[in-house]
Amino acid sequence: MKLSPIQLLQSSVQQITVFSVDTEKPELSQPMLSTLDFQVLKEIQLNKQFWDDEPNAGTMKDRTYRVTLGIRTPEDKSFHQYRFEIVLTGVVVSMQEAFPQHSVEDMVFEYGLTLLFGIAREQLATTTARMSNGSCLLPTMNFMGEAAKPL
């Protein structure tokens, strides 16, 4: 096993809202699994101030970012009898100064989103486990190829 060149230093849930959908209303209980049209927010910002109290941070400041991921169901749809909105942020750093085929920012964005999505899956499963419609688990998602800046 090898240490990943991208590390999640800190994460936090900014918002989590989950509603059970009334299964008596068929238009709200349609499964989304075939289309997965979640609404997604993805952001990245350089976060040099994370290292303000660390005198030996060096060039780590230039490779540390705040990544935000938000996922929600559209208001007129549900996912496994739930409507939800989850927003998470994380401080993500690249241990490497460069990558052969991608920018540091793109690598941090791609892997940061993937790590945050794992947290979102866990939060939704934990929250819904005690709700009347039962536990809901998001499918595994892939953020490979996400670019921090549009091409």
What pLDDT is recorded for position 25?
Answer: 56
Contact in structure between 94 and 80 (CB atoms under 8 Å):
no
What are the per-10-residue average pLDDT scores of the chain (151 residues)? 95 96 60 71 95 85 96 90 96 96 95 97 96 91 84 52
Which domains occur in the chain, in start order?
Answer: 6-128 (3.10.420)
In the beta sheet, which residues pair with residue 76?
none
pLDDT at 14: 97
The dihedral sign for the CA sequence 1, 122, 111, 57: negative
- H/E run at residue 122: helix 104-128
Cβ-based burial of 69 (10 A; exposed 0-12, middle 13-18, buried ≥19): buried
Do 131 and 20 touch, CB atoms closer than 8 A? Answer: yes
Identify residue 7 by its one-letter amino acid code.
Q
Q: What pLDDT does residue 147 have? A: 86
Per-residue pLDDT, 127? 95
pLDDT of res. 34: 56
Dihedral of alpha carbons 141, 144, 146, 151, sign: negative
pTM: 0.89
